[in-house]
């Protein structure tokens, strides 16, 4: 298992703790320090069964600054924005094989176990 983790985020910490309480030590990817490439982000979206727009954190300043609410922006443009500004990626994301889910709420990850 892998977790795309931000240690400053309470939901991310809770999700990691939930996995660890069940004896799972996932590979921890601190995505703010090591942002995913566009191809990796596309793979995550496929596993999550989400669009790029659905994975965007709309409350971030970058969302407003880059005017990402514009409906004409393509999937590729939104992915590029998340690659360049990883803070825009909703978190945490937990991956197990060909499946992934968002840890919002943290209990969502139990479906991967």
Domain contains 64: no
* Structural domain that includes position 20: 1-31+91-113
> Which CATH number does the domain housing residue 14 bear?
3.40.30.10
Residue 71: predicted pLDDT: 96
- Token couple for 7: 């240690």
* Whole-prediction pTM: 0.94
Total domain count, the chain: 1
Domain contains 109: yes
Domain contains 15: yes
Helix, strand or coil for residue 3?
Answer: strand
What mean pLDDT is predicted for residues 24-46?
A: 97
Task: Identify whether the C-beta of residue 12 lies closer than 8 Å to the C-beta of residue 103.
Answer: yes
DSSP 4: E
pLDDT in tens, 36-84: 999 999 999 999 999 999 999 999 999 999 999 999 999 999 999 999 9
Residue 100: partners with Cβ closer than 8 Å, 6 or more residues away: 44, 47, 48, 93, 94, 112
Annotated active-site residue 9? The verdict is yes
Residue 87: predicted pLDDT: 96
Q: What whole-number distance in Å separates Cα of residue 39 and Cα of residue 76?
A: 10
Domain contains 22: yes
Residue 6: predicted pLDDT: 96
Q: What whole-number distance in Å separates Cα of residue 74 and Cα of residue 42?
A: 13
Domain contains 78: no
Domain contains 55: no
Residue 105: predicted pLDDT: 95
Residue 55: predicted pLDDT: 98
pLDDT in tens, 81-94: 999 999 999 999 99
Domain contains 97: yes
Considering the candidates 2, 4, 5, 9, report the single residue annotated as catalytic: 9
Domain contains 99: yes
């Amino acid at each position: 298992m892998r977790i795309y983790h931000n240690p400053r985020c309470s939901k991310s910490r809770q999700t990691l703790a939930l996995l660890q309480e069940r004896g799972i030590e996932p590979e921890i990817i601190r995505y703010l320090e090591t942002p995913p490439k566009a191809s990796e982000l596309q793979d995550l979206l496929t596993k999550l069964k989400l669009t790029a727009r659905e994975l965007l954190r709309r409350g971030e300043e970058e969302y407003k600054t880059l005017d990402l609410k514009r409906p004409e922006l393509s999937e590729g443009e939104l992915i590029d924005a998340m690659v360049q500004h990883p803070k825009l990626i909703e978190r945490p994301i937990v991956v197990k094989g060909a499946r992934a889910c968002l840890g919002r709420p943290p209990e969502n990850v139990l479906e991967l176990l």
